[in-house]
Structure 1
Amino acid sequence: MLDLIWLVPALPLAGFLLIVLFGRKLGEPGAGILATVMTASSFVVVAGIYFDLLSRTAEERHHVVTLFSWLPVGSLHVDLALLADPLSITMALFITGIGSMIHLYAIGYMHGDPKFPKFFMYLNLFVFSMLMLVLGENLLVTFLGWEGVGACSYFLISFWHTRDSAATAGKKAFVTNRVGDWGMMVAMFLAFSAVGTLSYEGINHAAENGGLAAVTATGIALMLFVGACGKSAQLPLYLWLPDAMEGPTPVSALIHAATMVTSGVFLLTRMAPVLHASYPWAGDVIATVGALTALFAATIAVAQTDIKKVLAYSTVSQLGFMFLAIGSGAYVAAIFHMVTHAFFKALLFLGSGSVIHGMHHEQDMRRMGALRKVMPITGFTFIIGWLAIAGVPPFAGFWSKDEILLYAFANNRLLWFIGVVTALLTAYYMTRQVIMVFFGEARWHDHAEDNGAHGDHTPHESPWTMVTPLVVLAGLSIVGGAMQLPFTKGTKFLEHWLEPVVHHSERNISGTWAYENKWLLLALAIAIAISGIAASIAVYAKGKFKVIEPAILADAWRYDSTVSSLIGGPGYKSFDAVASFDAVVVDGVVNGAGIEVRRISGVLSKLQTGLIRSYAAIVAFGAVAVLAWFLVRGVL
């Protein structure tokens, strides 16, 4: 079964090619059905590979399939090869599984869109690229998928490009991610120059056996982290993700919740031995940036009024938790939270899309309210997602977030405190969102004309193609935490599953105060979640306290606007000055040299008369000049 791993990316690629060729004939819903079937078929193949690996011993859970030799150039030899191991298959499972649910959802959500086939063409291409990213056996194959998802995110974010905001958001995502791409490329250059290979096995083996100097390992780790900051929206490169909500909601669920934004977390986990071999402060840098990003984004989410913007900043914040885990040496906890986050955040994004669909494309939460009565399935499933992300037991998010905070406490108590405050804010702003959208008084009657509605503007439940994925994801958000429960060694299935990948690098916190008192910290986490929920209910449902939503938080601490001002003001002038310097000085030197050569050659060309006597005279003159030189030299 393992030899069939090439089918996993091949099926979505085939779907993409078929829609390119026959998309217009397939139309709606044919193109959507084809894309969904291809992604679901890929999931079936991944599931078969998973059970095959599960039946093997830990030492045998590593299989490489080489398709062909890609770059045999001198000492650089790169194969287009795919790697099946616990980490890559874990990623492929939720990419294809959740991706299938999102494809099915999109059939209903994109109904009536004139570019229906093109949308699913991009979705299949994205899934193919993401699978190449996680299944690649070496950094270059991963980079192929890395660039592929970047291009697809541009296509999908700016899908409705006739809106200026969507076109701008697509360009912002594309340009910002180029900074991260630079970091990954430098990391590849460093790795190849130090080890002589781009294969993960070769690089990690060198790191584990002392073949990689600490300074080199630190350079590679930090450059990979720069790449991760771009793709996974960490400070200071997070600013593309909130604007990316301009794309259709299935795009937000697929790219900005379940797949692309987790690429950085995956890459650092894949290169865990390199991080382990680097200087200790490198991990502190990653953990600090993650914790600060988590808190920064959580404070912004408190004051947002767009239903998708709240979830966007929530995604940035939760990704910060994952990097806090990576920097603390908790790679299993990072992957655990990545998987549970994929469940409940995809659910929340799809739930928000169902609300937008039922509200006739309204996204302002101030114009909603009491929607649970008219959209019961959407309301019920959204509430499950809310409880999961808020950290309420026994929902999935509670277990994964608690494990990250446990390792953070053992590593750095200040970062743990930042994580706890972020968890409190998460419970607060997510409760705020649920109350504003599904509870309280119905405010949508007052704004029917603003939406261009005629007649009855009552919101309605979404079709079965949209609510079925909500129910499935709600179930996963409830039971997903069971894969890594803290009770005994036997309940830590994910840890045992990932052991072949991270066992050399995972930090051991046994014997620390945090580990010995983990149940106390777990109880504290529950109290924090309940406090955040209770505070939000007191403010937004009961009206016991004044609503505090500072304008600076609504404007994202003015970070985005400040960056835009710098780029559009001094930055633009600087770039213009560089362009002028290039045009006047650099081009002037080059063009001037060419003009001077042409002038001199023009003068010399006059000597080329074509007359033999002229050439003979020149030769005679030259001979006389040479003789005269020697005579004069002899006299002197």
Structure 2
Amino acid sequence: MEFTIFILLLPVLMFLFLGLAGHKLKPSVAGLCGTISLGTVAVISYITAFQYFTAPRVNGVFETLVPLNMEWLRLTEHLHIDLGILLDPISVMMLVVVSTVSFMVHIYSMGYMKGEKGFQRYYAFLSLFTFSMMGLVLATNIFQMYIFWELVGVSSYLLIGFYFTKPSAVAASKKAFIVTRFADLGFLAGILVLSFFSNTFSFTELMNGSCTSVLQSAAGQTFLGGSVIAWGLGLMFMGGAGKSAMFPFHIWLPDAMEGPTPVSALIHAATMVVAGVYLVARMFPLFIDYAPDVLAGIAYIGAFTALFSAVIACVQTDIKRVLAFSTISQIGFMIVALGVCTGKDAHEGLGYMASMFHLFTHAMFKALLFLGAGSIIHAVHSNEMSDMGGLRKYMPITHITFLIACLAIAGIPPFSGFFSKDEILAAAFKYSSMIGWLMTFVAGLTAFYMFRLYYNIFWGKEHKHEHTPHESPLTMSFPLMFLAAVTVVAGFIPFGTLVSSNGEAYHIHLDIVVASISVCVAVISIIIATIFYRKEEQPIPDMLGKKFRSLHTAATHRFYIDEVWMFITHKIIFRCISTPIAWFDRHVVDGFMNFLAWSTQEASFSIRGFQSGRVQQYAYVFLIGALVIIIGLLLLFI
């Protein structure tokens, strides 16, 4: 499968072409070039997936292929950084996810971004992001993943701050970049710890058992009560938590909605934010063997994040921020599914398969939701639900596709979200009834806030618009219809036979009890949302908001976590740490160097008279010097 190199080459070449020569092209031509390039990448990705998953298994599992690998940088005799392509079930699955969503976003942007200044630059950045994400999922070693991990961060910075004349967009791009850099410092530290003890960066060597003896030896060495391998893996998850917006690193994601809406669909719904989930899945064998306690902690972090963000989503009024907090919550579901795994066996690792399944289905219907939100914003020129209402009359395609996505994320059969979320809940109940019931409650909140969003947009009180809203053009409506079709059928894919915790085929068995509970909870939540928001007047939500004013206010302000971070950074880090360091730098370090310069200058001014050019003065100084030496010698011998 050497042809997979074009999955990386096409986007990076298109980035260079549009970045350097795009301004000389018409915007429509630049957009068409970028779209055709990504369409080709999508076709190659589908061919790769078809060939890989239809190939005969080796000892009951899909073979791990490395069609390309070359040494880039040698650090020690055994430790070197390679660049290459690794194909296994989860990387091939991610190829399909990234290429599909990116291709739909490219098509959609032809209509949504039409007439925008910097159109060519926008498509160049989209190509850079796709290249970065593809390089991340195809990495053969953990340091290559880290390199592309940082490129993804740069790409998101550029895309979030695309409207660079808008202060809020600039602030959001810097916030996303800085917060994820804090987390990525932990990721880098974890890589260094793991590679120091394993003497390799290679995923195949780490996973195939060739490093077992050294890793077992390292697992016996402890630091602050935990093994060094557990510390390394925990630090690596810190990077994943930043990228996937897990608490407390979630603060960047809602503000990232300041970028163009198609960017939100691409980066912050379907691809970039699942990088952390992909990282844990990639390192899953090491977590199970050497850091099961860390994996359990990951489950609780995911569960809290899912609940926390779902509560906030229930009171947000900006439709893109509702979807942003929904994304955080759904990523929490995936993290929980990985965390509740207790072994590599297909049954013990049910959560692994469920997490990857939900990653796949969520990518499609969440991209659909964001692109649907973009279609709505394109029609009413506002993000606020108060400026919407009754849009089903004017936007039938957007209405139907948005409803399909809401039903899918709510977990209503036969839509794809039901099948993947049901497997997560089954794995959660198998691990702990507390985790199971908590995630079921969060699933109910998800159904409630999504249909709150749906009714406020398409039903409710119709807002008077300056211009009559209308359906989006075909370039925007086609991706909606395509993703809606995928959302309807994706749940019937025999996903367990393709991706599982140990590579063996796992046939999904629907847990009737768990499925019945989850569907009942979802239906009840939808009914409550219907009672609250279906009609034009909404007295019950207003009454509840006044009755629980403190909770409502706190949730509206995201429980003041942003303010806590600002206090920590400004009052503690800047004032108590950075300011003293800056004072020391200015007055001690700079002062010492200035003193050296001043003393040298003063000394030179004092002795420069010796270089006068007068022979009499030189003879006088010579005689004085000779006398001093003679007297010194006499005193020494006497």
> What's the CA shift for 1:280?
2.7
Spell out, residue by residue over 1:586-605, the C-alpha distance to the aligned partner (whole angstroms, 9 max, x if none): 33345445655776788899
Partner Cα distance (2:580, 2:237) in 1: 31
Query: Hey, what does 2:559 align to over in structure 1?
Result: 557
Letter in 1 for 2:153: G
1:396–1:618: structure 2 CA closer, same or farther, 3 Å change rule?
Answer: farther
Query: Hey, what does 1:498 align to over in structure 2?
Result: 499
Query: Hey, what does 1:410 align to over in structure 2?
Result: 430
Which one is further off, 35-44 or 278-287? 278-287
Does residue 204 in structure 1 map to residue 207 in structure 2? yes
> What's the CA shift for 1:66?
3.5
Query: Hey, what does 1:156 align to over in structure 2?
Result: 159
TM-score by length of 2: 0.88
Which one is further off, 251-260 or 180-189? 180-189
1:623–1:126: structure 2 CA closer, same or farther, 3 Å change rule?
Answer: farther
Does residue 529 in structure 1 map to residue 549 in structure 2? no
Spell out, residue by residue over 1:326-358, the C-alpha distance to the aligned partner (whole angstroms, 9 max, x if none): 211222111111111101100000000000001
What SS does structure 1 have at the residue aligned with 2:80?
strand
Spell out, residue by residue over 1:43-77, the C-alpha distance to the aligned partner (whole angstroms, 9 max, x if none): 11112222221232333622213354211233332
Partner Cα distance (1:260, 1:628) in 2: 82
Work out whether residues 194 and 233 of structure 2, in 8 Å CA contact, stay in contact via their aligned partners in 1: no
- Root-mean-square deviation (CA, aligned residues, Å) is 2.8
Letter in 2 for 1:482: F
Q: Which runs of 5+ in 2 are unaligned?
A: 220-226, 342-350, 546-551
Letter in 2 for 1:530: V
Spell out, residue by residue over 1:549-582, the C-alpha distance to the aligned partner (whole angstroms, 9 max, x if none): 4122111112113323443445442333332222
TM-score by length of 1: 0.88
> What's the CA shift for 1:480?
1.1
Which one is further off, 55-64 or 246-255? 55-64
Partner Cα distance (1:258, 1:386) in 2: 16
Query: Hey, what does 2:308 align to over in structure 1?
Result: 296
Does residue 458 in structure 1 map to residue 468 in structure 2? yes
Letter in 2 for 1:273: P
Query: Hey, what does 1:44 align to over in structure 2?
Result: 43
Query: Hey, what does 1:489 align to over in structure 2?
Result: none
Spell out, residue by residue over 1:114-135, the C-alpha distance to the aligned partner (whole angstroms, 9 max, x if none): 2111111100111001101111
Query: Hey, what does 1:268 align to over in structure 2?
Result: 280
Does residue 338 in structure 1 map to residue 359 in structure 2? yes
Letter in 1 for 2:277: V
What SS does structure 2 have at the residue aligned with 1:66?
strand
Query: Hey, what does 2:179 align to over in structure 1?
Result: 176
Does residue 281 in structure 1 map to residue 261 in structure 2? no
Spell out, residue by residue over 1:29-50, the C-alpha distance to the aligned partner (whole angstroms, 9 max, x if none): 1111111111110111112222
Work out whether residues 497 and 504 of structure 2, in 8 Å CA contact, stay in contact via their aligned partners in 1: no
Partner Cα distance (2:634, 2:470) in 1: 105
Query: Hey, what does 2:412 align to over in structure 1?
Result: 392
1:208–1:192: structure 2 CA closer, same or farther, 3 Å change rule?
Answer: closer
Q: Which runs of 5+ in 1 are unaligned?
A: 484-492
Query: Hey, what does 2:548 align to over in structure 1?
Result: none
Work out whether residues 272 and 505 of structure 1, in 8 Å CA contact, stay in contact via their aligned partners in 2: no
Does residue 26 in structure 1 map to residue 20 in structure 2? no
> What's the CA shift for 1:149?
1.1
Spell out, residue by residue over 1:150-169, the C-alpha distance to the aligned partner (whole angstroms, 9 max, x if none): 11111111111211111110
Letter in 2 for 1:494: F
| Match 1:355 to one of 376, 385, 400 | 376
Partner Cα distance (2:235, 2:429) in 1: 26
Query: Hey, what does 1:480 align to over in structure 2?
Result: 490
Does residue 253 in structure 1 map to residue 252 in structure 2? no
Does residue 219 in structure 1 map to residue 214 in structure 2? no
Partner Cα distance (1:529, 1:143) in 2: 39
Partner Cα distance (1:243, 1:166) in 2: 8
Spell out, residue by residue over 1:610-634, the C-alpha distance to the aligned partner (whole angstroms, 9 max, x if none): 97997899799779979977x79xx
Alignment of 1:27-176 (within 5 A): 27-59=26-58, 61-66=63-68, 68-75=70-77, 76-176=79-179
Letter in 2 for 1:374: Y
Does residue 307 in structure 1 map to residue 302 in structure 2? no
> What's the CA shift for 1:198?
1.0
1:598–1:301: structure 2 CA closer, same or farther, 3 Å change rule?
Answer: same
What SS does structure 2 have at the residue aligned with 1:78?
strand
Work out whether residues 297 and 314 of structure 1, in 8 Å CA contact, stay in contact via their aligned partners in 2: yes
Work out whether residues 207 and 273 of structure 1, in 8 Å CA contact, stay in contact via their aligned partners in 2: no
1:627–1:281: structure 2 CA closer, same or farther, 3 Å change rule?
Answer: farther
Does residue 467 in structure 1 map to residue 477 in structure 2? yes
Partner Cα distance (1:613, 1:73) in 2: 63
> What's the CA shift for 1:229?
1.1
1:364–1:516: structure 2 CA closer, same or farther, 3 Å change rule?
Answer: closer
Partner Cα distance (1:313, 1:139) in 2: 29
Query: Hey, what does 1:441 align to over in structure 2?
Result: 461
Partner Cα distance (1:526, 1:622) in 2: 104
| Number of aligned residues | 602
Letter in 2 for 1:36: T
1:194–1:433: structure 2 CA closer, same or farther, 3 Å change rule?
Answer: same
What SS does structure 2 have at the residue aligned with 1:545?
helix
Spell out, residue by residue over 1:513-566, the C-alpha distance to the aligned partner (whole angstroms, 9 max, x if none): xx9993211211111111111111111125583443412211111211332344
Work out whether residues 195 and 206 of structure 1, in 8 Å CA contact, stay in contact via their aligned partners in 2: no
Does residue 381 in structure 1 map to residue 381 in structure 2? no
| Match 1:538 to one of 528, 531, 535 | 531
Partner Cα distance (1:571, 1:428) in 2: 39
Which one is further off, 340-349 or 534-543? 534-543
Which one is further off, 247-256 or 27-36? 27-36
Query: Hey, what does 2:575 align to over in structure 1?
Result: 573
Does residue 328 in structure 1 map to residue 340 in structure 2? yes
1:183–1:566: structure 2 CA closer, same or farther, 3 Å change rule?
Answer: closer
> What's the CA shift for 1:399?
1.2
What SS does structure 1 have at the residue aligned with 2:249?
coil
Partner Cα distance (1:591, 1:204) in 2: 56
Letter in 1 for 2:498: W
